[in-house]
Structure 1
Amino acid sequence: MPVITVRNPGTGEALGDVAEHEPGQVDTIVTGAAGEGRRAMAAMPAHEREALLRRIAGLIEAEQEDLARLLAAENGKPIQQTRGEVQAAVRIFRAYAGEATRLFGRQIPLDAVPGLERHLAVTVREPLGVVAALVPFNYPVELYAHKAAAALAAGNAVLVQPPLRCPLAVLRVAELVEVAGVPDRAHQVVIGGAALSQSLAAHPDIAAVSLTGSTTAGREIARLGAATLKKVCLELGGNDALIVCADADPEEAARAVVLGRLARGNGQICCAVKRVYVQSPIHDAVVDALLAQTAKLTVGDQLLEPTDVGPLIAQAAAERVEAAVRTLVGDGARLVAGGGRNGAFVDPAVLVDVPAASRAFAEEIFGPVAPVARFDDVDEAVAMANESPYGLQAAVFTRDIGRAFDVARRLDVGGVVVNGSTALRAENLPFGGTKDTGGYREGVHDTALDLTRQKTIIVMDAFR
C-alpha cells in the first residue's frame, strides 16, 4: 500500500507515516461495515450507545494535551487553539451521548381523517445504516466528532476519512474509540484522497455521506450520491461579510476581524470574517484599530504558547493566499499591513480601498487576510454582502438593535452574529448556510435526527 509521510507544515519535520488504502480495499471495508458493524450498532440499546459515547469522551479528555500537541504539529494551528478544539470534541461526544437517548418518535392522531378514528399511528426512529464521514483539514478533530459521534448516537456504523495532510490526531482518537468498546467494524478509518471520497459517495452500501469541504468537492459528492439516492449532508465554503455601521465601536469591530480572521485557525476557517464593509464615517477609525491590533500578533512556531498565527496547512496553500493578495492589489486595493510569505507562513494582511467588484474579493481566501471596503448606506452593504455565491454566516456591528435585526433578516446566510465575529460555532446550534455553502445544517440537536429515518407503524382498531 502507498505510504504518506505526515509533516509539520512549518518545519517540514516528519511526524509519522500513514498507509493509504487502495481503491480495491474500499468495497471490502464498506461491506464489513454494512454487515457486521451496521447490525451491531442497530441492535445496541440507546443507553448503551450513550455509555459508549461517554467513555469515548472521557478517553479523549484524558489525553487532551497530547492530542492538542499532535494536532498543532501536523495542522499548523497554534497550540492554544488546538487545545480548544480537542475540548470541543469532548463536549460534542458528551452532547451526542445525551442525544442517543432522545431520538423521539411521534403519536399522530388519525382521528383527523374521517373513517380512521379507531386506529393508532406512531413513528419510530431507525438508523440509516452506514455513514461516510469526510473530514476536512482545518478542524479535523472537532468536525470528526460532529460526524462520527452523531452517526454512532443514531445507531449507525461510520466510516471516517480524515484529511490526508493531518490525519494523525484523528487516527489516535479512532484508537480510543476502539478502547471504549465500539462494536467490531462499526467505526473504521479509511485513508485516501479525492478518489477515495468519490468511491464512498458512489458505493451502494453507504446510506449517507457527511462532508465538510469545498463547494467543488461538495458538488461532486452530491452528484455521485444521487446515483444511489443516498442522503448527502454538505457544509461547504463561505465568504462571510462583517458590516460595521457608523454607530459601532471601532475597537470592538477591529477585534472581531482580528479574532475572527487573522488570529484563529490561521485564517483557514469556513466561517472566518473574509469581507469587511465599514461605513464611511468610522472607516478610518476601524482601519487604525485593525492595524494596531494586527501589529501585536505573533507569527511563528505553532507549538509555542505566545504564537497567534502558525503556518498554513501547506506551502501551496500559502502561495494561493499570496496570489490572492496580489490580485486584490492589482484590482486597486492597497496593502497596508503584512501579506509577506515565508514557506507556509503568511504574515497577517490588511488591505483597504478594496473594490467590491474584485474577483478575489468575491472568492474565498483561505488564510489570514482582512480586505476592507467602504460603504455609505446600509442597504448598499447588505446588497454587497448578498452578492457572494456563498451564504454561511455574516455579522453586523451596530448599537441599534432594530437595525441589527433588520440587517440580519435581509442577509441571505445561515447565521448572523450581532456585534461579534462570524467565526463562531457552538455545537448545540445549527451550523451551515445557503447557496453554494450547501444548504445543510449541522449541530447536536439536528444531525443525530438527520442520520435516522422515520418509520410509521399503524395499529388498526386500537381504540374501541
Structure 2
Amino acid sequence: MKMRPGTQTGFLLCGKEWGEGETLEVRSPWDQGLIGKVTVATRADAREAVSHAVASMRRTRALPRWKRREILEDIAASLIEQKDRFAKLIVAEAGKPLRLARNEVDRAVLTFKTAAEEAARLGGETIPLDLTEGNEGRWGLMQRFPIGPILAITPFNFPLNLVAHKAAPAIAAGCPILIKPSPQTPFTALALGEVILKAGWPEEALAVLPLANADTAWLAEKEDRIKLVSFTGSAKVGWELKTHSGRKRVVLELGGNAALIIHSDYKELDNAAERTAHAAFGYAGQSCISVQRVFVDKSIFQTFIWKLVECAGKLVSGDPANEATEVGPLIRASEAERVESWIKEAVAGGARLIAGGERDGSLIAPAILTGTKSGMKLRDEEVFGPVVMVEPYVDFEQALAEVNHSRFGLQAGLLTRDAGRILTAYRELEVGALIVGDTPAWRLDPMPYGGVKDSGLGREGVRSAIEEMTEPRMLVMAGLS
C-alpha cells in the first residue's frame, strides 16, 4: 500500500486489496487535509472473511511453534525497517506528534518480539492421575489450543500498537483474526496487515476490514463462528458489545480516569511535575491512562501546582509533524469543542482554571484546574484531552478514597517513599495496576494490562492475551507401559 494524498485504498481480505464499494474519507486531525479514501467493507464481506478464517483454522492450529515465532520475528524486523513509514502514517492519521509516533513503532516492535518469545514458550503440563487405587499407569497432559477466529476492534489513539496487541498474540496462539480498525486510522492497520502477510501468516487467516458501526455490531453479536471479541474503546460501546455477544469470550480494554497521589515524603517535586505534565498533556491527553486527577499532600500542594504550571508552559503545541511538538491536535474538532465545554462547565461550577484551556481549532492549550467537585464531567468522566485536575488532601486515607471515587479503575500512580503506604494503596485502590514511583501513564507492553469497574474486563499484554485466545484441553492416557 503506497500512500499518497488522495489515494484510494481497498480493505484487506484473503491477501487481496478489495477496492469496490462505498468509500470513507480520512482527513488529517491537524489541518483537515485529505489523507486518502478507504473502501468500506460490507456485511457480506465480513461474512466471507469469517468463512475464510474458519477454513484456515486447521492450518493455523497446525503451524509449529518455530514457524509462528519466525513469522512474528519477521514482522518485528519489518517494522524496524519501515519505522519512518509507519511513524509518518501515525502522524498523518492520528495527529500524534512525530516523536511519540516513532515511540509507538518501537512499542509495536517489542509487542511482536514478546509474542515470538511467548509462542516458543506456549506449552502445557503433565498431571499425575494415579492418585487412587486402580488408576496405576494413568496420566494426564494439559495443553492450550487456539480458541478460533477472533474479532479485534481497535481505536484511533494507538493505531499500530493496539492492533499489534491483538494480532501478535493471535498469531502466537494460532488463531485467525479479523481486524476492524478505527475509521480515523485505517491506513496504519492496513499497512500492518500487509507486513503480517508478507511474513508468512496464511492469507485466509487475516482480514483488515473498515466496517460501519452497525455491521461491526452485527459481526460481534450475531456471527457465532467468531469465538472471541477483543475490544478497545469507549465504556459505553464495550459493555453494549458484551451484553449482546452471547457465548463468545469478550475482552474489554475501556476508558480510564487515571489518578496520581503525591505524598509529602516525596521530595523530587521538579521530577514529579515534569512527569505529570508529560503524562497529562502528551498527545493531547488522548490515552486511557493519561493523568487526569492528581491528589497532592496539602503541605506541598502550592509548590507542586506552580511547578506543574511551569512545566506545562514549556510544552510545545502545534503541528504533529514537527520534531519539537509534544501536544498535538485532538482527533476531531468536535472533541476539542467538547473538552472546551467541559472546562467551561467546571469553571462555572466553582473550579479554578489555573492555566491553559484555550481552544484554537482542534488544539486545546494544556489545562490545569483545581477546586473541582464530584458531579463535574471533568472530574467524573474520561476527558481524553489535555486537562488535569490537582487537588490537596490532608489524610492519606482520604486520598485513596478520592481515587476510588470513580466508576473507572484502570491504573493509578503513587509517589511516596513509605513502604507501609505503598502496601496500603496496593491493597485498597480499585485499579488494574498501581504504578509506584511514576505516573499511571507508565506501561510496558509485555505486562498484564487492564482494569476493573467500567475500565474493562480481562487483560491485555501478550501472555495474558494468549491465555484469553486459547483454551486448555486434557489428554488422559491409561494402560500404556
Under TM normalisation by the shorter chain, which class is it? over 0.9
The reply on whether 1:259 has 2:278 as its aligned counterpart is: yes
The reply on whether 1:49 has 2:49 as its aligned counterpart is: no
Tell me, in whole angstroms, the C-alpha distance in 1 between the residues paired with 2:219 and 2:173: 20
Aligned to 2:162: 143
Correspondence list, 1:380-419, <5 A: 380-419=398-437
- Cα pair 1:257 1:370 within 8 Å, conserved: no
Aligned to 1:243: 261
Give 3-state SS (helix, strand or coil) of 2:265's partner: coil
Give 3-state SS (helix, strand or coil) of 1:453's partner: strand
CA shift digits 1:53-99 (9 cap, x unpaired) = 11111111111111101111110110000000011111111111111
- Cα pair 1:259 1:421 within 8 Å, conserved: no
Which segments of 5 or more consecutive residues in structure 2 lack a partner in the other structure?
Answer: 1-20
Query: How far off its partner does 1:357 sit?
Result: 4.9
Aligned to 1:434: 452
Aligned to 1:108: 127
The reply on whether 1:366 has 2:384 as its aligned counterpart is: yes
Correspondence list, 1:95-244, <5 A: 95-202=114-221, 203-226=223-246, 229-244=247-262
The reply on whether 1:329 has 2:329 as its aligned counterpart is: no
Query: How far off its partner does 1:351 sit?
Result: 0.6
Aligned to 1:38: 57
Give 3-state SS (helix, strand or coil) of 2:390's partner: strand
Aligned to 1:24: 44
- RMSD after superposition: 1.4
Query: How far off its partner does 1:113 sit?
Result: 4.4
| TM-score when normalising by structure 2 | 0.93
Give 3-state SS (helix, strand or coil) of 1:234's partner: strand
Choose from 394, 399, 413 the match for 1:376. 394
Query: How far off its partner does 1:149 sit?
Result: 0.8
Give 3-state SS (helix, strand or coil) of 2:30's partner: coil
Aligned to 1:86: 105
Give 3-state SS (helix, strand or coil) of 2:472's partner: strand
Give 3-state SS (helix, strand or coil) of 1:118's partner: coil
- Cα pair 1:120 1:462 within 8 Å, conserved: no
Tell me, in whole angstroms, the C-alpha distance in 1 between the residues paired with 2:58 and 2:340: 50
Give 3-state SS (helix, strand or coil) of 1:112's partner: coil
- Cα pair 2:169 2:463 within 8 Å, conserved: no
Tell me, in whole angstroms, the C-alpha distance in 2 between the residues paired with 1:6 and 1:439: 31
Aligned to 1:462: 480
Tell me, in whole angstroms, the C-alpha distance in 1 between the residues paired with 2:157 and 2:423: 31
Tell me, in whole angstroms, the C-alpha distance in 1 between the residues paired with 2:256 and 2:372: 19
Q: Which region of structure 1 is more displaced relative to structure 2, 403-412 or 300-309?
A: 403-412
- Cα pair 2:168 2:462 within 8 Å, conserved: no
Identical amino acids, percent of aligned pairs = 37
State the AA in 1 paired with 2:400: V
Give 3-state SS (helix, strand or coil) of 2:309's partner: helix
Choose from 73, 79, 89 the match for 1:70. 89
Query: How far off its partner does 1:248 sit?
Result: 2.0
- Cα pair 1:253 1:419 within 8 Å, conserved: no
The reply on whether 1:3 has 2:11 as its aligned counterpart is: no
Tell me, in whole angstroms, the C-alpha distance in 2 between the residues paired with 1:169 and 1:454: 34
Which segments of 5 or more consecutive residues in structure 1 lack a partner in the other structure?
Answer: none
Query: How far off its partner does 1:100 sit?
Result: 1.1
Aligned to 1:302: 320
Which segments of structure 1 move beyond 6 Å, counting only runs of 4 or more? none
State the AA in 1 paired with 2:140: A
Query: How far off its partner does 1:114 sit?
Result: 4.9
CA shift in 2, pair 1:112/1:436, >3 Å:
farther
- Cα pair 2:281 2:387 within 8 Å, conserved: yes
Query: How far off its partner does 1:360 sit?
Result: 3.0
Query: How far off its partner does 1:175 sit?
Result: 1.2
State the AA in 1 paired with 2:54: A
